Amino acid sequence: MNSLLINRYEIINPLGSGGFGETFLARDTQMPSQRLVVIKHLKPALQNSHSSTELIENLFQKEAAVLEELGNHCSQIPQLYSYFSEEGEFYLVQEYIEGKNLSQVGQIKPEHATVILSSLLNTLKYVHSKNIIHRDIKPENIILRDSDRLPVLIDFGAVKETMGVVTLGSGSTVSSVVVGTRGFMAPEQTAGRPVFSTDLYALGLTIIYALTQRLPIEFSISQLTGEIDWTSYVPNLDPKLVQVLNKSIKIDLGSRYLTAEAMYSDLHTSSGIPLSTVLAPKSQEDTLVVSPGGESKNLISSLTSVVFSKVKSQNKDTKVPVNYTRVAVIALSILGLAGGFFVTQQMLEAQERAAQLEREKKEAEEKKEIAEKERLQAQQKALEAENLRQTAEQERLAVEKRQAQEERRRLADESRQARLERQRLAAERSRVAALSENYITSNTPDNNTSSEPVYTTNSNVSSSWRPTCGDSYTSGSQWWAVKGPASALSVVKNKYCGDAYIASRETQAASFSSESAAWSFANALSSASGYQFWVKKSR
């Protein structure tokens, strides 16, 4: 994939991939904030005709519009920023939710699980009211947002399902793929007939995973009912939470909750009495009308609401705390001992719920303080690590500086030594040149027992032509050859040294057992011939 989509979205890194396509984290380069976005790259399962591609594109646009509406009206669903198609493949650009999903946060406490479940049921009530089924609820698709710790529902399956749409011979359309995750799919979803309860089934299993850190396939299954045994993994569970979760994951669709509203209401009902009847609405009137045919429970609930409302009204201005014992006495006086039992029971449940909320609030504050301390500690560690890094960097730079200084001194010493060596060689060449000016070895019979003339250190090579130049060969000695360019052979051979020849594409004029004598001859030959000659050590 290109690193820049439609000249706008810069791909940062992949987030995941599957049978329907890939998901990437990207940066919106055309927004001033350079905000991060999630790009879903969807690939149709079948691309065998223009009509099927056009059908998929129309369905994709329709589902994208639904996602836009859901994200705009529910803060716990990512917003859809944009969508587009390119070369028969489709892209969704959605809000990036910072946080960890339920498969990453580890095992959670039962009271936290209840809060998450309640929040997600409210989200599903809204989603289902739009006649939308999520189809793929699982731990990875529920993110606890960092900013407010609310659970966010991501990755709706409806858009994925459009990628597998095919047209039947009758003209009707059907999806050729089943959206969902093994273990979290209800039986009716596996058969391709998901309903609202399908999402509640997957949500129940997801909350069980959050409580136990075990996938559905890891639990033992009852051979009679086909239901999983999960409660043994979590001690001290609220019986109400166990009841709600067990009902939500029934294999039989008719035994499950049919709506998110029903599951939510059951979760927030204690001992069969809805909490909404304990705390009366602010708009409720103080007048109580009792129908002769009404039930005792309704009478008690209504009376309790009136008493609570009256007491709250009286204490609103005086700021005096509500005396629930006094309220109980009033209720007992009106209803008698038998009816007063039910009123007292409701008040105790209300107090228990209020205490539970207070404990949750205190625990949340403690967690917040702990998180803040951990953040400060992490920040302190980061500062210490940065200081250590800077100290190490300074030490490294100091070492490099010392090494550079030592290298400069070494190079300066080598430069001085090279300069002294050049001066020594120049002096040596001058000395040899002076000697060669004063000494000429004559090629006479009296001085040489050999019949061949021998040229030694004679710099005046232009004085006469010689058949042989250089020293006589002596076995085991070191030799220095006087060499020049190949083009000088004719001049040297005709004017100076008759035995000159070509060796390794160079003119070799003579060989000497002394390096200084060879250089003297080379310098003299260079001056006389106009060609440049030099000395090479030879065998």
Q: What are the residue numbers of the active site?
A: 136
For residue 205, give the nearest of 139, 271, 282, 257 by alpha carbon. Answer: 139
Give the contacts of 400 (CB within 8 A, at least 6 positions apart): none
* Cα separation, 205 vs 248, whole angstroms: 8
Give the contacts of 486 (CB within 8 A, at least 6 positions apart): 502, 505, 506, 507
For residue 72, give the nearest of 83, 81, 63 by alpha carbon. Answer: 81
Q: Is 138 assigned to a binding site?
A: no
* Cα separation, 110 vs 359, whole angstroms: 13
* Residue 100 near residue 60 (C-beta atoms within 8 A): no
In the block, which residue shows the tokens 């033992």?
A: 220
In the block, which residue shows the tokens 């609401």?
A: 305
* Residue 307 near residue 278 (C-beta atoms within 8 A): no
Amino acid at site 38: V
Could you tell me where the DSSP H helices lie in 249-295?
260-267
* Residue 288 near residue 302 (C-beta atoms within 8 A): yes
Strands (E), 242-314: 269-270, 273-274
Binding-site sequence positions: 40
Q: Which residues are annotated as a binding site for ATP?
A: 40
